[in-house]
Amino acid sequence: MQTITLNNNVEMPILGFGTFLINDKNECERSVINAIQTGYRLIDTAKAYGNEDAVGLGIKNSGIKREELFVTTKINFGDFEKEDCEKALKDSFEKLQVDYIDMVLLHWPFGNTYAAYRVLEDFYERGLIRAIGVSNYMPSQLIDLIKFNKVVPAVNQIEVNLHCQQKELREINKKYNVATQAYAPLGQGKAEYLYELPVLVEIAKKYNKTPRQIALKFLIQNNISVIPKSVHTERIKENFDLFDFELNKEEMDIIYSLDKGKNLIGCSQDIALAEFAMTWI
Ligand SMILES: NC(=O)c1ccc[n+]([C@@H]2O[C@H](COP(=O)([O-])OP(=O)(O)OC[C@H]3O[C@@H](n4cnc5c(N)ncnc54)[C@H](OP(=O)(O)O)[C@@H]3O)[C@@H](O)[C@H]2O)c1
């Protein structure tokens, strides 16, 4: 599996498995097992998804050693005060049934982010978390966090897909040595027309792949980590089967031109982000 070297030299798989909206516990455990047995080594969850326990069972029953996996969870902003954050982490360790977590992110840039980030720094320094980072951070928030804390976040997990390619935000991440991880890399099912565009269909045909595989590969060739979610075996396999071809420059340029510069899922640009996030309290 291709990896991204994080700013603390931890290797993070470039392709992972997302678990947002897999609410049924059995389906979640089964999907995680399925993904790991397909070859995924990064599993992304969050307290807010309410499925850390099912993800933990999936990891435990996957037949793959814990040390071969990269497990990410996130702290929700309802838990950003120091004691709440410590308790949320304790719960995550228990639910995931692990004695270390590979990466923990602050899910949103709201509330007492400083208190929560300093708890993450403490756990990181004690070796309980291998990498710490953030999600949904806009440039000014990211720079602020870096400036007034010790540990530079390893990752900023943001919406990135063909429709919303986040060129500017990705450049800021890169400038500050923060890896970009794409959530909703397939657009969360919200821009399905993209996968019928003749230009994309033609590129897909050339490589005997699907347009969605081309979309994920485009992000990977930009050195963006992607974490597509699916509960369907064939799609889990499809989304993993990305490493036997390379898009050429002309094809990459065609796909760059599909960028609409607007968030698709309505929650990762400043005001929209804040208003959406507050519904999650
Ligand atoms: N940090 C954050 O704020 C944040 C926000 C959103 C997401 N995330 C993380 O990022 C992960 C990925 O994002 P996401 O789940 O929102 O969206 P996504 O991965 O872009 O899209 C998932 C949707 O696409 C469908 N799908 C997946 N593969 C497909 C395929 N090959 N063909 C056709 N349809 C396919 C899935 O349906 P089926 O399941 O029915 O196949 C599901 O409806 C999440 O699961 C979560 O772990 C983080």
What distance in Å separates the CA atoms of residue 48 and residue 78, rounded to the nearest whole number? 10
Distance 276 CA to ligand 1 centre (A): 18
What are the beta bridge partners of residue 156? Answer: 134, 180
Structure tokens at 66: 């814990």
Give residue 266's pLDDT: 60
On the question of pLDDT at 271 being above 80, the answer is no
In whole numbers, what is the pLDDT of the chain averaged over residues? 95
Structure tokens at 277: 């996030």
Give residue 273's pLDDT: 62
Task: Give the position of tokens 């897999």.
Answer: 22
Give residue 265's pLDDT: 79
Looking at the structure of the chain, the number of domains it has is 1
H or E element that contains 57:
helix 52-60
Whether ligand 1 lies within 6 angstroms of the CB of 231 is answered as yes
Give residue 264's pLDDT: 85
Q: Which of 21, 183, 201 to mutate to test the pocket of ligand 1 (most atoms within 8 A of CB)?
A: 183
Distance 17 CA to ligand 1 centre (A): 9
| Structure confidence at residue 90 as a pLDDT band (50, 70, 90) | very high
Whether ligand 1 lies within 6 angstroms of the CB of 27 is answered as no
Per residue in 62-74, pLDDT tens? 999 999 999 999 9
Residue 225: domain span = 3-278
Distance 132 CA to ligand 1 centre (A): 22
Residue 95: CA count within 13 A, CB half-sphere: 23
Residue closest via CA to ligand 1's atom 29 equals 235
Tell me if residue 49 is catalytic: yes
Of residues 110, 123, 121, the one with CA closest to residue 79: 110
Q: What is the mean pLDDT of residues 32-60?
A: 98
What are the beta bridge partners of residue 179? Answer: 155
Per residue in 160-209, pLDDT tens? 999 999 999 999 999 999 999 999 999 999 989 999 999 999 999 999 99
Whether ligand 1 lies within 6 angstroms of the CB of 213 is answered as no
CATH of the domain at 91: 3.20.20.100
Residue closest via CA to ligand 1's atom 32 equals 235
Distance 22 CA to ligand 1 centre (A): 10
